[in-house]
Amino acid sequence: MELNGRVVVVTGGTRGVGAGIARSFLAAGAEVLVCARRPPEEPVAEGGRSASFTAVDLRDPAAVREFFASVAARHGRLDCLVNNAGGTPYRLLGEGEAERHARVVELNLIAPMTASVAAYPWLRETRGSIVMIGSVSGTRPSPGTAAYGAAKAGLENLARSMAVEWAPEVRVNSLVLGMVRTELSHLHYGDESGIAAVGATVPLGRLAEPSDVGEAAVFLASDRAGYVSGASLLVHGGGERPAFLDAATANKEK
């Protein structure tokens, strides 16, 4: 219960990775508030404790400012903001209107910046921290999700700049995620055999679970990471198995 008494906001914390992050913070003793446009289908809970929910459109700066002011008014403090909300459909950059790609950038880069700026006054008072949820799509070419990859690359750079500007009062770090298994994994990878086949391409042999991301986020928010700021922590199971390794293994088996 190392985060007992601390107040944490997780954006997009109603399902998938965000819900896993929220549950990890609950297990660590924090008071957790999740926000998204729509409420969760069932309460986000862990160990007999539940996260509270507030409906917020993170693309609306006025609504975001009002939300963080209400958090401070209700709880008297804010210790950590996890900017998790994001995502994208598969869409080639040359297909569809530019406005659709711009909305992807708005959700994955502009909205986390808006939330961070709104939370900053209260995080400064508690010498709190921000955890950005990035993606390996921001570290390499991302065909089919180019706007998303560009936004995540920008998010990682934004975190590093914030870490310098807002030191020493607020620490800012990023988690750079690979593939994570969620309730929507079947839409991307197919049935259980398809998910297992994709997991086999990861050096650790499986997709990440939301709890893997949550535990890493708790670490960055905790006093154990008190001297960690401006860092990008890879949570990707070793990345992707290089093609040459598979080729070498196949040659040995001949």
Catalytic positions are 148
Q: 188, 147 in Cβ contact below 8 A?
A: no
16-27 and 210-221 helices, crossing angle to 10° = 50
Owner of token pair 């690979």 = 178
Identity (one letter) of the amino acid at 254?
A: K
| Other Cβ atoms within 10 Å of 57 Cβ, number | 14
Alpha carbons 64 and 119: distance in angstroms, whole number: 9
Alpha carbons 105 and 138: distance in angstroms, whole number: 12
3-state DSSP assignment of residue 100: helix
How would you class 242 by CB atoms within 10 Å of its CB: exposed for 0-12, middle for 13-18, buried for 19 or more? exposed
Pull the structure tokens for residue 184: 């929507």
Q: Please, what sign has the CA dihedral across residues 110, 5, 31, 19?
A: positive
Pull the structure tokens for residue 81: 């903001």
Q: 25, 3 in Cβ contact below 8 A?
A: yes
How would you class 240 by CB atoms within 10 Å of its CB: exposed for 0-12, middle for 13-18, buried for 19 or more? middle
